[in-house]
Structure formats: structure tokens, C-alpha cells
Structure 1
Amino acid sequence: MKMFVVLSCLVAVALCAPASHDLQILPAVRHEEKHDEFGQYALRYITAENTVVSERGRLVPSPNGGFVLEIEGQYQFIGDDGQLYVTKYRGGPDGFHVEGDHLPVPVPIPAI
């Protein structure tokens, strides 16, 4: 399960990369990862172009009396325009939520 979550996040970050033929793949210059026996984890890595990704998964009580893995993290990078882009996300029993100053704000749907 934890490997699926980590791979999903890496795929999401990779899909955000520009589609360019001269894209260089640079290794992580720093990588930290910790896991426990319950599937909880924390990871952080920094790439050579200074992209920073951090994420943690922790067990929280679910409404049915069990536990669910809640994920929260963020990634940041410097865009081609020189701006720092920070995206924060979390996923848990109440769904998946993403926020960042560069993302559009969803328009609330009025109740009927």
C-alpha cells in the first residue's frame, strides 16, 4: 500500500513536468525515508535543480472504528519564470485536497 502511494505521488510529480525533448533527469541529491511496522511513513527528497518533495502518511481513526492512512505533503519548485511554486496536498477520509497560490480557486456550487 505504501509503495503504491509513493509511486502515485512520483507519477503525479512527473506528469507536472513540461513535455520537452531536452528534459534532463537529475538524481536526488538528498533523500530521507522512514517507515514503521504499521505502514506509516515520512519521506523527503531534494533534486539537483532544487525541487523539494516531502510527504507523510499516518494512521487516523475512521468513522467505522478502524484506521485509515491519511496522507499530507507538499512539493515546491522554481518555474521557468523564476517564481517559486508550492503545492500542498492531503488525502484522507474526507477526500483529496490540493492548494497552492498558483492553482485556480474552485467556485462553490450553491445548494438547491
Structure 2
Amino acid sequence: MKTFVVLSCLVAVALCAPHSGLRELPAVRHEEVHDEYGQYALRYITAENTVVSERGRLIPSPNGGHVLEIEGQYQFIGDDGQLYVTKYRGGPDGFHVDGAHLPDPVAIPAL
């Protein structure tokens, strides 16, 4: 499950990166909260005003246990001056991405 969360975070960060190359600017604001069960919430804003927020929470699974469900979004202003907002969520039913600038539907099936 940790691999799923880490992979999801990497996908979100990779999608935020500009196509001309990775920029190394620090976050100007960073908030992060974790609990003892692995649930979390995070939010950060970069110097270029990219905003990323995500939370992970435990939900009951059909087998009686729990699974970590993630949901989040990131937004940035593109080179064309447009605001791009991408929302995503991952859980027992797979990883789903939604944004007005993306083809419909974008879904990654569960493993």
C-alpha cells in the first residue's frame, strides 16, 4: 500500500513538472499532518504559484480490513496564461484523474 501512495505522489509531481525541464524552486509554503494510522494531509505552494494538496485516509475494505484512499489536486498557470487544475484519487477501484484540459475519461485500472 505504501508503494501505491508513493507512486501516486510521484505521478502527481511528474505531471506538475513543466515540459521544458525540471525546475528546482523551493516550496514557499508547506503544510503536512500525519496520524499514527498512516492517514495524512499535505499542501504546498511553489515559488511559481503551483498549488498541490493531497490527503490519504483509511476506508473499510470488503475483506474487513482497511485500505488507504488518496485524493488530491494540483493547479498551475501554464505558459499560455491559463489555469490548469487536475484532480486525482486512488483507492480500491483504481487511480482516476480528472481535469478540463485532459481527454475524458482518464483512468488507470487497479492492479
Q: So what's the TM-score if we normalise by structure 2?
A: 0.83
Number of residue pairs the alignment of both structures matches: 106
- The amino acid of 1:17's aligned partner reads A
Distance 1:87 1:2, change over 3 A: same
Distance 1:65 1:94, change over 3 A: same
SS in 2 for 1:68: strand
Q: Is the 8 A contact 1:54 1:74 kept in 2?
A: yes
Question: What is the 5 A alignment of 1:93-104?
Answer: 93-104=92-103
Larger Rg belongs to: 1
- The amino acid of 1:13's aligned partner reads V
Q: So what's the TM-score if we normalise by structure 1?
A: 0.82
> Displaced runs of 4+ in structure 1, greater than 2 A?
1-8, 14-21
Name 1:14's counterpart in structure 2: 14
Shift of 1:17: 2.3
Alignment root-mean-square deviation, CA: 2.3
For structure 2, list consecutive stretches of 5 or more residues without a partner in the other structure: 107-111
For structure 1, list consecutive stretches of 5 or more residues without a partner in the other structure: 108-112
